Amino acid sequence: DTAVSQTPKYLVTQMGNDKSIKCEQNLGHDTMYWYKQDSKKFLKIMFSYNNKELIINETVPNRFSPKSPDKAHLNLHINSLELGDSAVYFCASSQSHRVSRDQPQHFGDGTRLSIL
Partner 1 sequence: DQQVKQNSPSLSVQEGRISILNCDYTNSMFDYFLWYKKYPAEGPTFLISISSIKDKNEDGRFTVFLNKSAKHLSLHIVPSQPGDSAVYFCAASARDDKIIFGKGTRLHILP
Q: How far apart (Å, rounded) are the C-alpha atoms in residues 90 and 116?
A: 21
Q: What is the dihedral of CA 59, 68, 104, 41, to 10 degrees?
A: -40
DSSP category for residue 51: T
Count how many Cα atoms sit within 13 Å of the Cα of residue 115 in the half-sphere of its side chain.
17
For position 90 contacting partner 1 by CB under 8 A, the verdict is yes
CB of 79 vs partner 1, minimal distance in Å: 25
Q: How far is the CB of 41 from partner 1 (least distance, A)?
A: 5
Binding mask 31-50 for partner 1 (x = CB under 8 A): ---------xxxxxx-----
* Closest distance to partner 1 from the beta carbon of 113 (Å): 14
Cis bond before residue 8 (omega within 30° of 0): yes
98 binds partner 1, rule: CB under 8 A: yes
The answer to whether residue 71 forms part of the interface with partner 1 (CB under 8 A) is no
User: Which secondary structure element, helix H or strand E, spans residue 69, and what is its range?
Assistant: strand 64-70
When asked if residue 60 is in the footprint of partner 1 (CB under 8 A), the reply is: no
Q: Which residues bind partner 1 (CB under 8 A)?
A: 4, 40-45, 56, 58, 90, 92, 97-99, 101, 104-110
